[in-house]
Amino acid sequence: DVKVTQSSRYLVKRTGEKVFLECVQDMDHENMFWYRQDPGLGLRLIYFSYDVKMKEKGDIPEGYSVSREKKERFSLILESASTNQTSMYLCASSPGLTFTRSEQYFGPGTRLTVT
């Protein structure tokens, strides 16, 4: 079974802190994604990566950056956390060079609260 793990299930940070969210997948997938999930808004793509050291902006990249130094690991960085970044963050991975046909495999999520 594909497994996508996220470093924390719950995280509480203060405004202005730099926050790192880690995601690891164990199935050698090429593609990895970071979403945020908010009630009534569904899932919105922050960043994705289709290869090591490659990244592309999603729909809401402002205030975030990412790092993919190894194929299995994709990190989301909040440079200076703000209260409007309080949300559920979901990491996902998918196989293959063609994104569109493949299902995505999701981690359990990290619920981040910024106070």
Partner 1 sequence: AQSVTQLGSHVSVSEGALVLLRCNYSSSVPPYLFWYVQYPNQGLQLLLKYTSAATLVKGINGFEAEFKKSETSFHLTKPSAHMSDAAEYFCAASLVGGTYKYIFGTGTRLKVLA
Does 40 bind partner 1 (CB under 8 A)? Our answer is yes
| Minimum distance, C-beta of residue 15 to partner 1, in the bound complex (Å) | 26
Cα–Cα distance measured from residue 73 to residue 70, given in angstroms and rounded to the nearest whole number: 6
Tokens 């729909």 appear where? 59
Number of residues that bind partner 1 (CB under 8 A): 26
CA 42 to chain centroid: 15
Query: Which residues within the stretch 47-106 sit at the binding site for partner 1 (CB under 8 A)?
Result: 48, 50, 56, 58-59, 90, 92, 99-101, 103-106
For residue 107, state whether it binds partner 1 (rule: CB under 8 A): yes
- Cβ-contact 6, 106 below 8 angstroms: no
The CB-of-97 to partner 1 minimum distance in angstroms stands at 11
d(CA 40, CA 31): 26
Q: What letter represents residue 66's amino acid?
A: V
Binding site for partner 1 (CB under 8 A): 4, 9, 33, 40-45, 48, 50, 56, 58-59, 90, 92, 99-101, 103-109
